[in-house]
Chains A and B, each alone.
Chain A
């Protein structure tokens, strides 16, 4: 369980979030949504220690974030940042770096590490890309390779910042199916999503942010039905059953 207790976050001269309290449940997929500039990414970065807290505490299973060692924390959580460099190394090499927090000083990869790397690439369908240079891959392939790296890190918690950016609609679904599959392996997933329909379809829990505060949080269905998401974005919303599946629709008011 990840608890944020009266957390304030921001950048020098710009407090983005004030007094946020939030509980992210173990084994669930939680999405953070909200209009641009409301602090979704800031919240995610704060929760996983990429951004120093300006106030409040973040606890992982009751233990304060600041009491984790860097590598120890990297064995508990993996993060897929929104903007990433594209180093010109091979996909397989990148995925292998996911083992970094598990390696001692100067230790090389063991058979067990190699198996994990292979497993992560199989799960994400990237095994055939392993000898390709990252710069030669398409956006979708690159995204999957990066996800493979975070999987390979073998953590209980995954933070994904906009995992569907740069992807076309088919790839978006593919990516989120992958996220769901990863979640079924018992991993807690916390992600920022731009696409509201996808956020509600694929998350157990949704947190709606509005101008630096939490407008709603809880079970995805309930949050949707509260009408808060539609109000925050200034749109209309309705849930439809298409082919036996509940689809969340957001339209012009």
Chain B
């Protein structure tokens, strides 16, 4: 797939974009099907589906499909879509391609409250996801409140995010020190993965993620205008502060809900938006956001599939795999971009 060449020739004419989205949709279906079909145990997918459709779930295959694979694929699809869109939004708001949800404190906040819940209610593992979500929200609100006190500029938000994150990270380490029993479950969360995920794990999250995705798509045009810079956006009649706050909140809700059941697999939020911008050009979020959702969902699902089958019957947490695959790919993109745009005026990669 030659995705880098396209960035130099703008390719957002309607039909091309529609084709791109169509291909991503196909990729999504393929990933989902593969995710259901493959795994450490090989199952007869056709027979299992037939059995489930006829109302029964007696055979092992059908039960694996219903209780293991299906929730897992749903979880990876949801988490991938949410994190990719979250990343796309936060990069647009901060006009910084290096931004990802953890910049506004999502990871550290979610991590701290997960550990907090694990330490406080060791008998109730169900409180950890709730803690993660609320922690992400709380951290982001603190970041925003602090930054708003200083004018809520882009740089202030990033700086406040770094400071708040480091406080919460210190909190995580404190809990680790005093409640070493939280280490096992906690580190699973920090690495991120979908092992053993069930429908009840993702049911509160999808109720957040789906409406938030819809809201993000509805805000595509204001997001475009916000990307033109604060003053231009203001003079075009956009309520800059309100839009920025709302987009940050959406980004946080998406990422927080995703990490609540998947752990910190948030590298997706940095990587996928980049690839999507290469494919679809910049500045048209009506296209970029759905594309990010589709690609993010497919990417995480495929990575999760790999994590299951690569060393079957052992499993590598998908968070590790994502970083091992995504990191080099990201570096590759940087090198490619440098080579193709050697004399771009405004610093190429680091300018949106």
Contacts and interface: CB of A to CB of B under 8 A. Distances in A.
A88 B351 contact: yes
B236 A135 contact: no
B228 interface: yes
Nearest to B347: A135
Interface stretch (A25-33, A93-101, A117-125, A237-245): A93-101
Contacts of B238: 70, 100
B338 interface: no
A50 B235 CA distance: 8
B232 A81 contact: yes
Interface residues of B, dominant DSSP: loop
B221 A100 contact: yes
Interface in A93-114: 93-94, 97-98, 100-101, 103, 105-106
Interface string B1-35: 00000000010100000000000000000000000
B236 A74 contact: yes
Interface residues of B, number: 27
A77 B224 CA distance: 20
B75 to A, nearest CB: 30
Given A94-B228, A135-B345, A87 B283 contact: yes
A160 to B, nearest CB: 11
B340 interface: no
A143 interface: no
Contacts, number: 86
A48 interface: yes
A235 interface: no
B234 interface: yes
B237 A74 contact: yes
A131 interface: yes
B234 A50 contact: yes
B352 A81 contact: no
A128 interface: no
A133 interface: yes
A85 to B, nearest CB: 3
Query: Which among A72, A73, A78, A90 has the greatest number of chain B C-beta atoms within 10 A?
Result: A90
Nearest to A12: B151
A90 B284 CA distance: 10
A135 B237 contact: no
Interface string B218-262: 100100110111011011111100000000000000000000000
A249 interface: no
Given A85-B229, A88-B283, A101-B236, A106 B346 contact: no
Contacts of A14: none
A106 B218 contact: yes
Interface of B: 10, 12, 95, 218, 221, 224-225, 227-229, 231-232, 234-239, 281-284, 344-346, 351-352
25 contacts: A70-B238, A77-B235, A79-B231, A81-B235, A84-B229, A85-B227, A86-B346, A87-B282, A87-B352, A88-B346, A89-B227, A89-B281, A89-B282, A93-B284, A94-B228, A97-B224, A97-B225, A97-B228, A98-B236, A100-B236, A100-B237, A101-B237, A106-B221, A135-B351, A159-B235
Given A84-B232, A100-B238, 4 more contacts: A50-B234, A89-B284, A97-B224, A100-B225
